[in-house]
Amino acid sequence: MYPSDLKYHKEHEWVRVEGDVAVIGISHFAQDQLGEVVYVDLPSEGDEVTADETFGEIESVKSVSELYSPVTGEIVEVNSALDDAPETVNEDPYGEGWMIKVKMADSSEIDVLLSAEDYEAFIEDEA
Amino acid sequence: MTRRLAHTPDGAPSRGPRETIFELDAGDARTADDSALDVPEVPLERLLGDRVRLQPPALPDVTEVQVARHYAHLASLNFGVDTGSYPLGSCTMKYNPRVSEDACRAPGFAGLHPEQPAETVQGALRLMFELQEALAEISGLPAVSLQPAAGAHGELTALMCIRAFHTHRDGPRTRVIIPDSAHGTNPATVAMCGYSVAQVPSDERGGVDVRALREVLDTDVAALMLTNPNTLGLFDENIAEITSAVHEVGALAFCDGANLNAVMGVARPGDMGFDAMHINLHKTFATPHGGGGPGAGPVCVTAELAEYLPRPVVSRKGEGYVLTDPNRSIGRVRSFFGNFGVHVRAYAYIMGLGGVGLREASEQAVLSANYLKSRLYGVYDVPYDRTCMHEFVLSGSRQKRENGVRTLDIAKRLLDHGMHPPTVYFPLIVEEALMVEPTETESLEDLDRLAEALIAIAAEAERDPETVRHAPYTTPVRRLDEARAARDPVLRWRPRG
Amino acid sequence: MRFVSITGAQQELMLRAVGANSVENLYADVPDAVRLCRPLRLGDPMSEMQLVAHLDGLSRANMPATGLISFAGAGCYDHYIPAIVDDVLRKPHFFTAYTPYQPEVSQGTLQAVFEYQTMICELTGMDVSNASLYDGATAFVEAALMACRITKRRTVAVAGTVHPEWRETLETYAASGLYELEYVGGDGVTRPEDWRRVVGEETAAVLVATPNYWGNLEEADEIAVVAHAAGALAVIAVSPILLGIMEPPSSAGADIVVGEGQPLGSPMSFGGPGLGFLACEMRHVRHMPGRVVGETVDTDGNRAYVLTLSTREQHIRREKATSNICSNHSLNAVAAAVYLSSVGSDGLARVARSSVQKAHYMRERLLETRKFETEWNHPFGHEFALRYEGDATAMRAELLTRGYLAGVIPPDEQSAARGRVIFAVTEKRTRAEIDAFVDEVRTL
């Protein structure tokens, strides 16, 4: 449920580091809480994102949540497949459900993120 | 329980949906209106230039018989107050008097043009004036505008008056406080008025946490927006202290009047220290909901705020009535004077019931809600174990925890019992909320039937949760794929192929 | 009149069940200091018969435009409403129903509104329509706010020729700081070169009405070009009746279309309730205010309708909602749908043609009397403005005594010499009535 090769943000985003690029999506917990995703509002390639600030929104039928970036940097790729198939976020949150890829300005920001174990504990505490 | 049709208006069985009106075709049978034009005809191109439409709009092509049957069928798919119990919390779905429907259709009302000279509309102006006066008496706030078209519109209008009040003094200020139990229109209204929202929590009794409120109150606060009784159906006994605290920092207190049905003739928001309120005529004063509107959201304010009300208001002049502009009016918030057709209905209701009838309506609304609540103790969780006002909140938490049956499922199963569900998932501060408001026009048999249905569903949730979770079964359509509707929106009919 | 059906004995039973001696006990949480200690001063209850007599007295104290030969328009029009329209609106399952939040038992309302949305799209040429707003004026405001959200700009350029009450409503909302207004003046109509001077990179939208307050038709397509060149949206307000014979605003380049839908099946009713309509392109739908009905299927695969894209709205997005609107004018939208279904496109075209031809005929004949003069020769629809050679208010008052409602005098011109009068003519006016009116004018 929470792959150990990823890092996690308190707002339920995950990060997969590929060199100096951070691949970002939302966790299993987040997609489960949301229910069936109907729309993802993502920024564009070239946009800047800042750690702990919002970069977009995700909607289910009855709710809307903000998406928080775990890192600072420039967006180098956006998963446009989510336009036509937003439910991919539910079906494969860590794989095809990725949202943005960010060229990190400061890779040390990864270090303050939660490990899979810590994230799981964090969710249990919240419940 | 036996499978029976959920509702059978006029004895006719309701069937499922069928074609849209665009899929009906009259062919040549449409009765053409063959009255010829009686003035000389000039080619339209000469009059309208290149604006003449080449392709007519694809409107329905049907006979009157087809129109009549189409809408008769659509009506049979609907559940209204006339069908059965409609205990939607904070909506006050009371009976809509038929005499009001006749009244607003009188040619002397329906046929009035808003720009007719004042001397030709004295009856209408008198009606509006007397309605203003009646709402002032009921609210305890002397100055009234009938202009807003809906509750949310009234909230915004009142907040604009408050903003103008502050701007005229030391500046508009920046924040408006709302409780965490507030209806969604409240923060949306705050944003539309250029303010930011500051939230204040509720205490364990369900009222405003007064200590927390005092911490958040300062001279940057323009107003507090409160509903009292609140969205939990509880009267906030600290209300006088609350409005006092608000006034101490020079802010104003606004009352969202959605729950006025609990206290007519018993307590008035003006006497509670509120400076402004809006009233929902389509709730408290029995004007019909019409499937979503039109309603009306008049605003009542203190004498101090009167000069900011939207223009025009109706005033007396000698023996007659005129339209006047308040001195520092914020201006118009819409065209013309308001939803006059709705004003007529509310006026008829108030005149018909009289002061004593309005008080009786509130008292019965409160008694019926408490009675219904008492029948459901032990069956559903009651988060605030206090005497309620005209509505109360239950939680479906136990059913969710023990049986995996959610409030949504309970609501859908109630449809199979021939009743409209209560409000669900509001207020947000109660988990799996069910907000129940029977209103005073339900009979004791209706109340007992509703209680028994809810009790039966709770039992069924234990015994056979799957059945509850896939309800409803007997309605014209069953549960809808709402995700599909949001993901791939189809918002108009198009010919296939 | 009384609608409480619980007897005294039943009340006793209920009180016992809740453990109270009287209803008074149930109000224990209401502090004495805020209690009302006297009866409401509202008069005694009336029987239905008494109430009807009272209301009759009030309605008879009016002289409705529908009982006069009326040429009053200016935003509210006296068109013929087929009898079937009110018949549908009076069906209790339509008018006593709530907002269709439980779609399983609301397919009637939902389908009727879905069909209405479709008809507005057909009339305006736009992709999507919402389920109604309050009136044309607030629809204009909502369109301005929508354009600001889409373009992330704050200035809205408005034609000075729009209805003064719509302009005033825009100003009232502007005071909250959500947008700033700039005006483009015009003599009867605005000109593209005047818009070019005003529209810039801060402009979120141009707001123009065609026909405008004077009944004149504007060059909406050229104004839209000016808007688009600056990256602004074109918001065009239209007459729904005239769209039966006029090109849809989509072809003029409209991004958002609004208007007052009262002429489609709602009585004038002293100005309310009317119907605000708003339609736009599909790509802007997530910024569109108001409810919207969408098509889907149910568990059994049946076609069904449901309120959708709700995350735009106040009950979910709260302070970030596209609008605070909750209750709308749904029943008036249904009235519009029944009206349009009843008249069809040929019927609507006939109403529009008749209104336009009669208006042009009347204007000619009024000019012939030499009591009126024109300053404009702009194309117009079924409404036009002329200057009266004398005291227009007195003229109107005199003609009222002879059974005529002689148009509308703009608020600024009530006491002006040679003030303007705006005349609207609908299909209800016969040639004989128009000729008789003109004869009366001659005798003044």
Residue B15: the pLDDT is: 55
**Low-confidence spans in chain C with pLDDT less than 70:** none
* Domain annotation covers residue C18: no
- The helix-helix angle for C330-368 and C107-124 (nearest 10°) equals 30
**Cβ–Cβ contact A59 with B under 8 A:** yes
> For tokens 């009149």, what's the residue?
C1
* Domain annotation covers residue C431: yes
Alpha-carbon gap, residue C105 to B13, rounded angstroms: 14
Alpha-carbon gap, residue B156 to C176, rounded angstroms: 10
Q: Are residues C362 and C274 in the same domain?
A: no
Alpha-carbon gap, residue B249 to C202, rounded angstroms: 38
Residue of chain C whose Cα is closest to the Cα of A57: C311
CA B425 to chain centre: 17
* Domain annotation covers residue C239: yes
Number of Cβ within a 10 Å radius of residue A28: 17
The answer to whether the Cβ–Cβ distance between B293 and C327 falls below 8 Å is yes
Three-state DSSP state, C421: strand
Residue B1: the pLDDT is: 37
Q: Please give the angle made by the CA atoms of B189, C309 and B227, to the nearest 5 degrees.
A: 30
Nearest CA-CA partner of B341 in C60, C266, C92, C66 = C266
Suggest the residue from A40, A58, A60, A61 to mutate for an interface test with chain B (most B CBs closer than 10 A): A61
Q: Are residues C278 and C353 in the same domain?
A: no
DSSP designation for C334: H
- CA distances in angstroms from B279 to A65, B132, B149, listed in the order given: 32, 11, 11
Residues on chain B touching C321 (C-beta within 8 angstroms): 184, 188, 191
Residue C315: the pLDDT is: 85
**Cβ–Cβ contact B481 with A under 8 A:** no
Residue B2: the pLDDT is: 37
Chain A interface residues (partner C, CB cutoff 8 A): 39, 41, 59-64
* Domain annotation covers residue C275: yes
Which tokens go with A104? Answer: 């990190």
**Residue B119 in contact with residue C297, Cβ under 8 Å?**
no
* Domain annotation covers residue C16: no
Q: Are residues C119 and C212 in the same domain?
A: yes
Structural domains present in chain A: 7-107 (2.40.50.100)
Is-cis flag, bond preceding C267, omega within 30? no
Residue C209: the pLDDT is: 98
Suggest the residue from A57, A58, A62, A88 to mutate for an interface test with chain B (most B CBs closer than 10 A): A62
Residue B343: the pLDDT is: 98
Alpha-carbon gap, residue B260 to B428, rounded angstroms: 21
Q: Are residues C297 and C184 in the same domain?
A: yes
Q: Are residues C168 and C284 in the same domain?
A: yes
Q: How far apart are the first and last CA of chain A?
A: 17
- The full length of chain B comes to 497
Print the domain residue range for C380. Answer: 66-79+344-443
Q: Are residues C145 and C272 in the same domain?
A: yes
* Domain annotation covers residue C295: yes
Residues on chain C touching A34 (C-beta within 8 angstroms): none
Residue B16: the pLDDT is: 56
Suggest the residue from A31, A33, A34, A36 to mutate for an interface test with chain B (most B CBs closer than 10 A): A36
The answer to whether the Cβ–Cβ distance between B113 and C168 falls below 8 Å is no
Q: Are residues C412 and C287 in the same domain?
A: no
- The distance between the two most distant Cα atoms of chain B, rounded to a whole number of Å, is 78
- CA distances in angstroms from B479 to B409, B463, B492, C70, C104, listed in the order given: 10, 22, 21, 51, 7
CATH of the domain at C382: 3.90.1150.10
Residues on chain A touching B485 (C-beta within 8 angstroms): 61
Residue A1's pLDDT band (cuts 50, 70, 90):
confident
Query: What are residue B99's phi and psi, to 5 degrees?
Result: -60, -30
Alpha-carbon gap, residue A17 to A12, rounded angstroms: 16
DSSP designation for C22: S
Per-residue model confidence as pLDDT tens digits over A19-35: 999 999 999 999 999 99
The residue from C280, C304, C339 where one domain ends is C339
Q: Are residues C164 and C127 in the same domain?
A: yes
CATH of the domain at C117: 3.40.640.10
The answer to whether the Cβ–Cβ distance between B483 and A60 falls below 8 Å is yes
Structural domains present in chain B: 18-76 (no CATH), 100-353 (3.40.640.10), 360-483 (3.90.1150.10)
pTM: 0.95
Q: Are residues C147 and C273 in the same domain?
A: yes
Q: Are residues C355 and C320 in the same domain?
A: no
**Cβ–Cβ contact A17 with B under 8 A:** no
What's the number of domains chain C is made of? 2
Please list the pLDDT of chain B residue by residue as tens digits (497 residues). Answer: 333 344 444 444 445 557 999 999 887 777 666 678 999 999 999 999 899 999 999 999 999 999 999 999 999 999 999 999 999 999 999 999 999 999 999 999 999 999 999 999 999 999 999 999 999 999 999 999 999 999 999 999 999 999 999 999 999 999 999 999 898 889 999 999 999 999 999 998 999 999 999 999 999 999 999 999 999 999 999 999 999 999 999 999 999 999 999 999 999 999 999 999 999 999 999 999 999 999 999 999 999 999 999 999 999 999 999 999 999 999 999 999 999 999 999 999 999 999 999 999 999 999 999 999 999 999 999 999 899 999 999 999 999 999 999 999 999 999 999 999 999 999 888 999 999 999 999 999 999 999 999 999 999 999 999 999 999 999 999 999 999 999 999 999 998 75
Alpha-carbon gap, residue B236 to B205, rounded angstroms: 9
Residue B7: the pLDDT is: 43
Distance from CA of B469 to the nearest CA of A (A): 16
Asked if residue A62 has pLDDT above 80, the reply is: yes
Per-residue model confidence as pLDDT tens digits over B129-183: 999 999 999 999 999 999 999 999 999 999 999 999 999 999 999 999 999 989 8
The residue from C317, C339, C361 where one domain ends is C339
**DSSP output for C345-396:** HHHHHHHHHHHHHHHHHHHHHHHHTTSEE-S----BSSEEEEEESSBHHHHH
DSSP designation for C133: B
Q: Are residues C372 and C435 in the same domain?
A: yes
The residue from C309, C339, C369 where one domain ends is C339
Q: Are residues C385 and C310 in the same domain?
A: no
Nearest CA-CA partner of B143 in B251, B333, B250, B276 = B276
* Domain annotation covers residue C303: yes
* Domain annotation covers residue C299: yes
Per-residue model confidence as pLDDT tens digits over A77-126: 999 999 999 999 999 999 999 999 999 999 899 999 999 999 999 999 88
